[in-house]
Structure 1
């Protein structure tokens, strides 16, 4: 169990010796040795006792907090970065416009190449050729705004091609972020959030600041570098979602309306557990 997902609302994570024990009332939901856990993902209203937090910090287990809907909230981190020079170099690089554009172009190009490969595998060869042309345009972009324009246009073509591969019963029209109005968008958003929490952890692990990115604009509370880093990997999530739909591993009946009246839909608990496992396998 490399990743322990805590999804049961009202549950409590406790330390018992060198074990992590998850309880709700008198019921024990999970009981695992700390040595078997690389990451803990806390979703929504789940409590962590102080001894449990201390154990997780001492063992350097990554702890990620998501909302009950699956949106990224933050991470539990130990003492400050020991990589001051690396972070200083990152800051200096952000002041060099040519360097920023060069990094951003390669990130976008890598994403588009992987999108084209996925479309090719799915038999959408014409759309794949169009995305390949977008790769060349992205690599010739002379500004970040121009690059974002190419990326946005390619994204519209890409999701239009995916829509034609998805049965109409799924109600997928276009990529919609917040809130996800249909099951396909809900699966995509949840998968991208899982990518994001891994990218934040990876950046901090090597000493980079996950909030100082190149392609994504800097904004309060936005992990811009982590968002940059997941761009080339988004097609992995897309492929997982398409595979689930085509192989009938999930159906529209596995979703329910969110409690908030904003039109969002959520994956039910049983299917979400399977989705987390599928994501972990996809990333291996």
Structure 2
């Protein structure tokens, strides 16, 4: 079952009752012009087990400790946003698998050659998906991207990821003068930032569910980054976000309006192809992280990534 993504952009009071997330909207309750029947409908309930991601984007949201506990126990990712409505915090459960200790040990004991091979597969998948993204968005088959993907060696010592990325962004948004992918750059960087934050939460949640440490990466190792492994594994998924952002850009939607956010919040349900089958992105992420654990445990040598 696909878990739901809940977004709260207005004042709300979130609590727990009978394994249900109870959502109260104080603005509706206090409005004197509304009839009592409508005020009673201001309370909504959602089964906790159906929720995968919760996004809190308002300073006047109150959430009880009981609700937080229930959400985390059901492997929900809880995202908080700053004053600019950009995701700034991520809360995940400390455990998400019954054999947690064993899985942590397998991950910690992974050899450097294995990590380099996994990173090679990751970058090959990312560049191939970038090439597919360009083919869909600008209707051009970029052969050099496919060549670079095939040439990636163990650990990517030639840094073909960076070469491909520079070409990719220049080509994808070719009609924006001097466009570069920069977190603080010009639009549609703002849309990309938002989309990647949602994607990161989905991948981190899947890693925890698979019993893995999101902190311990196979390539990223910034000591200030609590989600290095999530940042590694999300790389081949990024082009799916890029395609969605390109669609919004082509419709001249460059600001984070409610409509644009609604489109970006659909990321967990984006249709991807994985292992020869169509699947929502959130389900595909679970397959990817499960295959990663099999690599750490010695059952496999290949991570399963999605394709277009």
TM-score class, shorter: 0.7 to 0.9
| Count of paired positions | 254
Q: Are the counterparts in 2 of residues 20 and 34 from structure 1 also a CA contact under 8 Å?
A: yes
**Corresponding residue to 1:209 among 207, 213, 226:** 213
Give yes or no for the alignment of 1:176 onto 2:177.
Answer: no
Q: Are the counterparts in 2 of residues 19 and 31 from structure 1 also a CA contact under 8 Å?
A: no
List gaps (5 residues or longer) in structure 2. Answer: 30-41, 273-279, 281-308
CA-CA distance at 1:24 after TM superposition: 4.0
Aligned to 2:263: 274
Summarize the alignment of residues 248-259 of structure 1 with structure 2, pairs less than 5 Å apart: 248=251, 251-252=253-254, 255=255
Q: Secondary structure at the match of 2:216?
A: coil
CA distance, structure 2, for counterparts of residue 115 and residue 80 of structure 1: 31
Q: Secondary structure at the match of 2:89?
A: strand
Give yes or no for the alignment of 1:70 onto 2:86.
Answer: yes
Sort the Cα spacing of 1:160 and 1:10 in 2 relative to 1 into closer, same or farther, 3 A: same
RMSD over equivalenced CA pairs, Å = 2.7
CA-CA distance at 1:113 after TM superposition: 0.9
Aligned to 1:230: 234
CA displacement 1:76-132 (0-9 Å, x = unmatched): 415576421221111111xx221121111110111001111222233222xx21111
Q: Secondary structure at the match of 2:79?
A: strand
Q: Are the counterparts in 2 of residues 199 and 229 from structure 1 also a CA contact under 8 Å?
A: yes
Q: Secondary structure at the match of 2:173?
A: helix
Aligned to 1:263: none
Q: Secondary structure at the match of 2:22?
A: strand
Aligned to 2:44: 31
Give yes or no for the alignment of 1:152 onto 2:154.
Answer: no
Summarize the alignment of residues 112-131 of structure 1 with structure 2, pairs less than 5 Å apart: 112-121=127-136, 122-125=138-141, 128-131=142-145
Sort the Cα spacing of 1:36 and 1:91 in 2 relative to 1 into closer, same or farther, 3 A: closer
List gaps (5 residues or longer) in structure 1. Answer: 256-266
Q: Are the counterparts in 2 of residues 12 and 48 from structure 1 also a CA contact under 8 Å?
A: yes
Summarize the alignment of residues 98-137 of structure 1 with structure 2, pairs less than 5 Å apart: 98-121=113-136, 122-125=138-141, 128-137=142-151
- Greater RCO structure (CA 8 Å; 6+ sep): 2
Q: Secondary structure at the match of 1:212?
A: coil
Sort the Cα spacing of 1:172 and 1:16 in 2 relative to 1 into closer, same or farther, 3 A: farther
Sort the Cα spacing of 1:9 and 1:236 in 2 relative to 1 into closer, same or farther, 3 A: same
CA distance, structure 2, for counterparts of residue 57 and residue 196 of structure 1: 17
Q: Secondary structure at the match of 1:216?
A: coil
Indicate the structure with greater helix content.
1
Aligned to 2:297: none
Q: Secondary structure at the match of 1:84?
A: helix
Q: Secondary structure at the match of 1:27?
A: helix
CA-CA distance at 1:237 after TM superposition: 0.8
Give yes or no for the alignment of 1:191 onto 2:195.
Answer: yes
Q: Are the counterparts in 1 of residues 148 and 164 from structure 2 also a CA contact under 8 Å?
A: yes
TM-score, normalised with respect to structure 1? 0.78
CA distance, structure 2, for counterparts of residue 278 and residue 207 of structure 1: 23
CA distance, structure 2, for counterparts of residue 76 and residue 228 of structure 1: 17
